Structure 1
Amino acid sequence: MDLQDQLKNLFPDHVPQPSEDKGNQPKPEFWIQDEPLLCKYEKRRGKPTTIIAGYTGAASDFKLLAKKIKQLLSVGGGIKDEQIIIQGDYRDKIMEFLKAQGFQVKRVGG
């Protein structure tokens, strides 16, 4: 006698509800942290750059996040000193993307 049969004997009037399968829910691509990411604007060598700092997850997730942002904006960039450096001033678009992914984002600077 399995568990379902035992439950039917104990609660004969109960109609079981279909269970929600957690496999259907999309798994987040990145590790979502409690601390907000910092999104700031700087000029380096006279050129505008957007810098995302404060990510405390795994290095592989950090690289994947940088890759997704660069693909979204179709721009260049890289990772240096635990910061994502994006060429150009794209703070608003990056902040929207990060919020859609479930991150908290804090705008630093002007």
Structure 2
Amino acid sequence: MAGRKDRSGKVSTDGGGDLGQNPFAALGGLSNLPAGPTPTEPAPPPTASSKRGQPNKNRGRVEIRRLTGGRGGKTVTAASGFVGISEAEKAQLAKRLQKACGAGGTVKDGAIEIQGDKRDQVAAILTEAGFRPVMAGG
């Protein structure tokens, strides 16, 4: 149902007339409607597990690099190569790494960056999380 055209052939956009009735007005007086869904606690995020329900011990290879380029000489430890891990889980893992290393960090371009040369600490935490860390680069 398009709006009406004026003499120049353009369609009016003023909204037209009122609909005349509210299609939901009759529902206001009904008391026998079913109750809506009850609020529940959100389910915990799924953890990676094997087919037998045990925690997954090998979640894939992750490269750990020490980077300095483009940072004014500051050193950053970057963990990259995560496969099958969501951005939310990466952010949670980055927060855990920051806390354990006592340093700042971020998730950038799919890699977790931690300030400073913290390769050994990052490798220990990733191993504990089920990943297989590999030192890459110099």
TM-score by length of 1: 0.67
- Give 2:132's aligned residue: 104
Q: Residues of 2 paired with 1:30 and 1:76: CA distance?
A: 25
| CA positional deviation for 1:58 | 1.0
- Offset at residue 102 of structure 1 (A): 1.6
Is it true that 1:90 corresponds to 2:115 in the alignment?
A: no
| 1:46 and 2:73 are equivalent in the alignment | yes
Mapping 1:1-110, distance limit 5 Å: 31=48, 34-43=59-68, 44-56=71-83, 57-110=85-138
Asked if 2 retains the 8 angstrom alpha-carbon contact of 1:30 and 1:61, the reply is no
Structure 1 CA distance for aligned equivalents of residues 47 and 103 of structure 2: 21
Q: Match for residue 26 of structure 1?
A: none
- Write the deviation string for residues 15-57 of structure 1: whole angstroms up to 9, x where unpaired: xxxxxxxxxxxxxx85466430110001122101000101121
Deviation at 1:60, TM superposition (A): 1.1
Number of residue equivalences: 84
Amino acid at match of 1:86: I
Q: Report the alpha carbon displacement of residue 83 of structure 1 after superposing the two structures with TM.
A: 0.9
Aligned-residue identity in percent: 29
**Structure-1 separation of matches of 2:128 and 2:80:** 18
- Structural RMSD (CA): 2.3
Deviations 1:63-110 (A, max 9, x none): 100010001111101111111111000001110111122211111012
Question: 8 Å contact 2:76–2:117 — kept in the other structure?
Answer: yes
Q: Where does structure 1 lack aligned partners over 5 or more consecutive residues? A: 1-28
Query: Does the 8 A contact of 2:77 with 2:118 survive in 1?
Result: yes
Structure 1 segments of 4+ aligned residues over 3 angstroms from their partners: 29-34
5+ residue gaps, structure 2, are 1-45, 49-55
Q: Please state which structure has a larger fraction of its residues in strand.
A: 1
